[in-house]
Amino acid sequence: MPCAGGARQVATWFSGLMRVVDVYRLSRRLKELADAAVPAEGDGRLKPGEMEVMNYLAENPGESVSGIARGTRLSKSLVSRYVRELHGVGLVQYRVDCFDARFRMIELSESARKEIQLRAEVSVQFALYEHEPWLSYKQQRDALDLMKSLADILR
């Protein structure tokens, strides 16, 4: 005869697994919402990591790859690749440190500043309305407040 405690352990484990599934589902839905809120760049969208690097540089101009990696919690090799790609399309530029010519400071280009301004004007609330039209206005506001809180907590 199976132990009743074992069934309870399995049920507890399974309910935890369902919560992980819910996190993945939420992650997918948030990505869909972000994609709907972000205008396309050139022939496609910027990668989330590229957007993270651009947003970091908007607040921290003249940073190094190592500094960006620390600030964004992305790997240095990934940041290096994103910076190369962003430089290749003219969204970031390099400046040489006047005290140490080996040190390249990275900053947003003028076109990147305009891109960020454009994105700032695109309302996430509008994207939420377009992507989830069945939500009431109050539910949309509540969802936005929760997303802001979660972003602040996880920052």
pLDDT score at 14: 62
Q: pTM of this prediction? A: 0.57
Whether residue 96 sits in one domain with residue 66? yes
pLDDT score at 16: 62
Whether residue 78 sits in one domain with residue 55? yes
Whether residue 87 sits in one domain with residue 127? no
Inter-residue contact 51 to 34 (CB < 8 Å): no
Examine residue 132 and state whether it is found in any structural domain, yes or no.
yes
What backbone phi and psi angles, to 5 degrees, belong to 132?
A: -130, 65
pLDDT score at 85: 93
Q: What is the mean pLDDT of residues 9-19?
A: 65
Which residues are CB-contacts of 115 (< 8 A; sequence separation ≥ 6)?
Answer: 41, 54, 91
Inter-residue contact 45 to 119 (CB < 8 Å): no
Whether residue 90 sits in one domain with residue 55? yes
Q: What is the mean pLDDT of the chain?
A: 81
Number of domains in the chain: 2
Whether residue 141 sits in one domain with residue 112? no
pLDDT score at 125: 76
Examine residue 10 and state whether it is found in any structural domain, yes or no.
no
Whether residue 155 sits in one domain with residue 103? no
**Which among 94, 111, 110 has a CA at the least distance from the CA of 102?**
94
**Banded pLDDT at 43 (limits 50, 70, 90):** very low
**Which among 136, 80, 88 has a CA at the least distance from the CA of 111?**
88
More confident residue, 18 or 81: 81
pLDDT score at 73: 92
